[in-house]
Amino acid sequence: MTTTTPSSPSSPPSSRGRRRAPGRIERAAGRAAALQRPRVLLALLLLLALTYVMLLDGYLRAEVGGDQRVRTGASASDVPDDILDGGPILTFRGGQATTVSVPDKTIALTFDDGPDPTWTPQVLEILEKYDVPGTFFLVGSMVSRYPDIVEDMVEQGNEVGVHTFTHIDLSYQSDARVTREIEQTQLALAGAAGITTTLFRAPYSSRTDAIDDYSWPVYEKLGEDGYTSVFVDTDSDDWKRPGVSKIVDWATPEDDEGASVLFHDAGGERSQTIEALPKYIEKMKAKGYTFTTISGVMADQQTGRQAGQQTGRQAGEQLSGGPAAQATGSEGGGLQAAHHRATGTTLYEGKALVAAVAVAEWTVPALSVGLMVVGVAVMGRFGMMLILARRHYRRRNRRRFSWGPPVTGPVSVIVPAYNEKECIENTLRSLAASTHPIEIVVVDDGSTDGTAEIAESLGLPNVRVVRQANAGKPAALNNGVRNARHDIVVMMDGDTVFEPDTVRHLVQPFADPGVGAVAGNAKVGNRRTLIGAWQHIEYVMGFNLDRRMYDLLRCMPTIPGAIGAFRRDAVLEAGGMSEDTLAEDTDITIALHRAGWRVVYQEHARAWTEAPGSLKQLWSQRYRWSYGTMQALWKHRGSLTDRGPSGRFGRVGMPLVVLFQIVTPVFAPLIDVFTVYSMIFVDFRAALLAWLAVLGVQLLCAAYAFRLDREKYRYLLMMPLQQLAYRQMMYLVLIHSCVTALTGGRLRWQKLKRTGEVGTPAGNG
């Protein structure tokens, strides 16, 4: 064993790459953590905002809360008889419940369930053509989605009322739910048309004689709050789509009686309503009827005037803006008597609601399309991995396959080490058992825990310890390459152990003179813990299937730092291991591709590495990996327009890496959120089956990867839990990295805490 202490590191260490003395390391780490916290928060807030948008969209579409009638034949013993036998307009003036009837030969034309972007504008056009006012009872969620229609409706002189926010049967709801349904609808009206209203119609209501003991308390509560509840005298039953003639007949009152008549401008296919409405208006006018609003009916009762003395439009205008209307307490200014101008907090909250809904209305469909594309890409990736991994396995394991003459010459194994006292002995002893001739170059990067002394004390043959001032892993690797005596160099981590045949398998592809680097098969050694088992599944499935695929496509993006082999001259020609990024392994791999070298995967060369043992360490490692990969891709973006081998990687490898390692994982949490959204708001069974189907495909891929690597299938039992917990964390890490990159953040290399529990490979089956 020899020891070398160079006078200076291989290159001047940058302030970002240099590791500091222990006392300063903690302070630097604390400052780095403080800088990263806002970015973590920003990433979480982004995901939370998108989740909120989805939830809002589901709520707006009445897919939450239950859009069904739940009352069936209840008693009406608590309802006063004069209410049950009274008119269609229920008020609580002076605390006393009273009803108002529509005068003879007068129609209060009412519409429920709107606004609808298809049918409501057609209804408004008909009403304007015939100079007839209508009273529209609007669903708040629809108002917030189509505010322009409501604004046009009010400006045209029509009247609006509350029909709840989600079209829910209020009979069995709590007081809080009732209040929320009303207030949210009022906010939607304020945001859409700048008004609030005192009119209310309950979903699934009909005549006053249908009020029962469950619904009566709701009307009493709303009456105390100043609302006028509106029922019907005559129902067109247009929602049944019985035919135009029947709709007209059913909406016609008997014996010239006045009536509150119900049509629907939304809630289904309303073409028959659109066709019947002009015929109905013409018929009723021919019979001498006039049309008015609900406020018009109430004003006629108060003033003692008959609605038939004026046309419906003139009555509405006088009631809203004339002296008579002002005398009855209307605010004037062109508003219907039931309308009040929204001001202050109500107006601003309403506009905020409409704005939020507009965002949801744009975002959710866009997300749906985007997630569909991502879903297809993910499934396509699984299919491509299975096909190409199988082809790779069959090609490399057939009897006639050969890289060329066996590579038997000695190679140099470089072990960069910084404070690896727990692991260095196991690492070096595993190398000493190699069946291939090697020299071992341990580059001690200014360790303070006696790592170099431990390496020297082992007395192993062919081991050299090279000491350098603390300069970072890239500098240590470059120092090792310069001190290597052989043409092929193997790079590994100080916490990794090799099997005896690992180096021999790893260097055989160099028999092909076009091969510049070889990626080995990194495996998790500490897989007995839950976190370790999750990473084991990830390593076997993701990393190894990916590398088989990339190998066949000749665009391998990364040689793992735990096990990789390089032609020494190729590394030197590429400028060595760069400190420009935090992923020096990805950086050098892409650089070799661009230089025309082939990079291959050797699955039989296995290395056992110690994976992070805590969630905090795992987050730190994967954050560095993700951010470093983005740095490397950005650094080599010029390959997109290059010619030759560099251009081939840029136009084949780089898009695949960006799509599969950045874009689809970034959007993957949204797929999960969308799945939960579908389970809650759309179709639980269908969404669950879809999720199980995707999980089944992943299990199939994982099982095939385990078969290729001859791993034990029992670990796959943890895969469902991995999908629910571990995978989400990895997505958040990637989102965090993207936020850091977009905000121009800089990330320091961080040392992970090691335990040395990965011993000889024989103990890790």
Q: Which residues pair with 107 in a beta bridge?
A: 259, 291
8 Å CB contact between 632 and 639: no
What distance in Å separates the CA atoms of residue 711 and residue 590, rounded to the nearest whole number?
Answer: 30
Q: Which two tokens stand for residue 114?
A: 């709107």
Give every CB contact of residue 395 below 8 A, 6+ residues apart in sequence: 401, 552
Phi, psi of 3 (to 5 degrees): -125, 130
CB 230 within 8 A of CB 201: yes
Sorted by sequence, the CB contacts under 8 Å of residue 310 that are 6+ apart come out as 290, 318
Count of other CB atoms within 10 angstroms of residue 657: 23
Q: Which of 116, 169, 212, 264 is catalytic?
A: 264
CA angle centred on 593, ends 587 and 599, rounded to 5°: 95
Nearest to 239 by CA among 224, 253, 250, 228: 250
Centroid of chain to Cα 478: 42
- Report the C-alpha gap between 480 and 9 in whole angstroms: 10
DSSP 19: P
115 prior amide bond cis, ω within 30? yes
Q: Give the three-class secondary structure for 134.
A: coil
236, 261 contact by CB (below 8 A): yes
Single out the catalytic residue among 57, 112, 445, 493. 112
112 is catalytic: yes
d(CA 345, CA 378) in angstroms, rounded, equals 46
Cα angle: 521, vertex 525, 528; to 5 degrees: 135
d(CA 339, CA 732): 48
Active site residue 264: yes
**How far is Cα 150 from Cα 114, in angstroms, rounded to an integer?**
9
Distance in angstroms (rounded) separating the CA atoms of residues 668 and 654: 20
The rounded distance, in Å, linking the Cα atoms of 488 and 410 is 8
Contact 563, 607 (CB under 8 A): yes
Rounded Cα–Cα distance for residues 628 and 741 (Å) = 10
Is residue 10 a contact partner of residue 478, using CB atoms and an 8 Å limit? yes
Using the structure block, give the residue that is written with the tokens 């001690």.
444
Look at residues 254, 338, 256 and name the one whose alpha carbon lies nearest to residue 298.
338
Cβ contacts of 238 within 8 Å, gap of 6 or more: 247, 251, 263, 264, 270, 272, 273, 276
| DSSP string of 509-577, one letter each residue | GGGSTTEEEEEEEEEES--SSHHHHHHHHHIIIIIIHHHHHHHHHT------TTEEEEEHHHHHHTTSS
Angle at which helices 664-681 and 22-60 cross, to 10°: 40
- Which residues, 6+ apart, have CB-to-CB distance to 279 below 8 Å? 244, 248
153 phi-psi bin (left φ>0, alpha ψ -120 to 50, beta other): alpha
Chain centroid offset of residue 613 CA: 28
Tokens of 377: 């890409």
Positions marked active-site? 112, 264
